[in-house]
Amino acid sequence: MTTTADSMLACHRDGAVATVTIHHPPANTLTPELLGELSQVFEGFAKDDAIKAVVLTGTGRFFVAGADIRLLASIASSQEGESIARQGQAILNRIESLEKPVIAAINGVCLGGGLELAMCCHIRLVAEDSRLGQPEINLGIMPGFGGTQRLPRIVGQSKALELILTGDPISAQEARSLGLVSQVFPPEDLLHQAQGLARKMAAKSLPALRASLRAIRGGADSSLAEGLVVEARLFGGLCETEDKREGLAAFLEKRQPHFMDR
């Protein structure tokens, strides 16, 4: 995987795992240009079946410190503001809809648009010295890239309201207690742990990974009854795959499966 000299993303591939590192000093600000690069990279991952899991992280002390303040200050109309929000939402939705696991390795400051970016990833791991929050209210605005929608779904409405309406950041430990992140690691171990988790997932059957992500994502916005219908249909589809036959045969023969992603 190649990266141009003027890119704000460094992409590295190790087998079936891609690691994307945001490098936009000094604070990895989430500019339209950076969002555009993320969109292109994840479009590529969607088309490349050799990539089965993705780790997204940042450089230095920042995952993403927030949105581009100069851009926010330049917005002069409600139409322009809505357009920018919709564009950002569409790109984050594209990341969330990737049918391969995306792990956010939150390596430091993760505020505003940075937390919105992290929340569109399927799994979030965090360094123990990180700070996370939605401080937009302190600027007289509100989250616009999905924060008001994803945060309540993850931590519950009451806590999401508290965080969004005060703008106060939380520690990595509190984020874990809320379920906003799943694990906390020392900063020097974070990327290694995230990549190890990605490799573990990438060793599974790609059809099974895709179906599981579809079922969970589809069920999140449906009733239980509707979600169960989706689950049953996707389970049925996997029963016809070569990987299902290989997985069960390997279990019965007490060996490791050799999935072909078919």
Span 151-180, pLDDT tens digits: 999 999 999 999 999 999 999 999 999 999
Answer for the pair 210, 99: CB distance below 8 angstroms, yes or no: yes
CATH number for position 95: 3.90.226.10
Q: In this model, does residue 5 exceed pLDDT 70?
A: no
213 shares its domain with 125: no
Same domain (yes/no): 51, 19: yes
Structure confidence at residue 6 as a pLDDT band (50, 70, 90): confident
Q: Give me the pLDDT at residue 39, please.
A: 97
- What are the angstrom distances between the C-alpha of 187 and each of 90, 128, 184? 31, 6, 9
Question: Which of 161, 181, 202 is a domain's end point?
Answer: 202
Q: Are 119 and 150 in contact (CB under 8 A)?
A: yes
Return the CATH number at 234: 1.10.12
Longest dimension (CA), the chain: 66
Judge whether residue 110 has pLDDT over 60: yes
The length of the chain, given as a count of residues: 262
Check whether residue 140 and residue 228 sit in a common domain: no
Same domain, 198 and 214: no
Q: What's the pLDDT tens digit per position in 200-251?
A: 999 999 999 999 999 998 888 889 999 999 999 999 999 999 999 999 999 9
What is the C-alpha separation between 73 and 96, in angstroms, rounded? Answer: 28
Domain count, the chain: 2
Of 161, 187, 202, which residue sits at a domain end?
202
Tokens of 69: 């303040």
Co-location of 237 and 179 in the same domain: no
Domain encompassing residue 183: 9-202
- Give the C-alpha separation, 222 to 105, whole Å: 29
Q: Where are the beta strands (DSSP E) in the chain?
A: 9-14, 17-22, 53-58, 62-64, 102-106, 109-111, 123-127, 131-133, 170-171, 183-185
The pLDDT tens digits for 116-160 are: 999 999 999 999 999 999 999 999 999 999 999 999 999 999 999
Q: Is residue 195 in some structural domain?
A: yes
Any domain includes 257:
no
Distances 25 to 3, 58, 222 between C-alpha atoms, Å = 17, 10, 40
Has residue 75 been placed in a domain? yes
CA–CA distance, 201 with 207 (Å, rounded to integer): 12
Mean pLDDT (whole number) for 43-57: 97
Query: Do residues 73 and 182 share a domain?
Result: yes
Residues 157 and 232 in one domain: no
Distances in whole angstroms, Cα of residue 262 to Cα of each of 51, 176, 208, 236? 14, 36, 9, 15
53-102: pLDDT as tens digits: 999 999 999 999 998 888 899 999 999 999 999 999 999 999 999 999 99
Domain boundary among 202, 224, 243: 202
DSSP state of 227: H
67 CA to centre of own chain: 17
Residue 258 lies in a domain: no
Within a domain: residue 134?
A: yes
Q: Check whether residue 111 and residue 70 sit in a common domain.
A: yes
For residue 34 the two structure tokens come to: 């950076």
Instruction: Assess if residue 2 is contained within a domain.
Output: no
Q: Is residue 240 part of a domain?
A: yes
Q: Is residue 56 part of a domain?
A: yes
| Residues annotated as part of the active site | 116, 136
Phi and psi for 211 in degrees, rounded to 5? -65, -40
The reply to whether 212 and 84 lie within a common domain is no
Residue 233 CB partners (closer than 8 Å, separation 6+): none
Is residue 187 located within the same domain as residue 107?
yes
Q: Name the more confident of 114 and 218.
A: 114
Q: How many CA atoms lie within 13 A of 30 on its CB side?
A: 29
Please tell me the predicted confidence (pLDDT) of residue 1: 43
pLDDT at site 2: 45
Same domain flag for 65 and 191: yes
Shared-domain flag, residues 120 and 237 = no
